[in-house]
Amino acid sequence: MTAVARSFDLLVFDWDGTLMDSAAHIVDSIRAAARDLEIDLPSEQHTRHIIGLGLVDALTYLFPSLPRADYPRLAERYRYHYLAGDHKLSLFAGAEEGIRAMHAAGFGLAVATGKSRQGLDRSLESSGLAVFFHASRCADEGLPKPHPDMLLYLMKTLAVDPRRTLMIGDTTHDLEMARSAGVSALAVGYGAHARASLEAREPLACVMSFAELTGWVQQNG
């Protein structure tokens, strides 16, 4: 990679489904939590749609008839099931090498995620990627996706113009957040949302592996 005459100074990554291969585990954990409360299980496709959203928005979308008083218990059961398998999760193939290369090339790197701060910090440390990111923003620190708050915060913190910022994510929530913030977006089609749904939001491109993502940044970033 080269840092000369590039198009972007800041690359903002989503976490689950973009860097970490965790979408299936999130779906399983949500469905297990619903089973614990003996409520109707949402479909896998329906559940995949909420990945990346804040917790309240996700629960409202999946369980619209569930009393809000039951949200804390459902959230607790979700966390229980997620944490039980959290140690088995891994980065997508090529993600560590790609992040290392982008960092070495001089790109600013950040994370914008629907995870909690505690959850992201745990994942950053366990994955070994913490040292490569200059900033991060989580759903429990401001307004969740698809609101532009996360990107606006990161760009202000790192003093980067929207025109020099690229959002990289696997959900329509990521792409809608980017559009609202006036930021270009690169979609990844190997995560939570279907490629057709992502391409309908007109990202710069839709890549199907992290190796392809790294190559795209090398050629276009």
CB burial readout 131-164, b (16+ within 10 A) else e = ebbebbbbbeeeebbbbbbbbbbbbeebebebee
DSSP letter string, 26-69: HHHHHHHHHHHTT-PPPPHHHHHHTTTB-HHHHHHHH-TTS-GG
Note if 36 is an active site residue. no
Q: Which amino acid is at 38?
A: E
Choosing from 9, 14, 21, 57, which is the catalytic residue? 14
**In the block, which residue shows the tokens 């913030």?**
181
Query: By three-state DSSP, how is residue 16 classified?
Result: strand
Q: Which of these, 146, 140, 134, 84, lies nearest to 117 by C-alpha position?
A: 140
User: Rounded distance, CA 197 to CA 203, Å?
Assistant: 11
Note if 14 is an active site residue. yes
User: Rounded distance, CA 110 to CA 81, Å?
Assistant: 28
Q: What is the DSSP letter of 90?
A: -
User: Rounded distance, CA 100 to CA 120, Å?
Assistant: 18
Choosing from 16, 57, 149, 170, which is the catalytic residue? 16
User: Rounded distance, CA 65 to CA 164, Å?
Assistant: 43
| Residues with catalytic roles | 14, 16
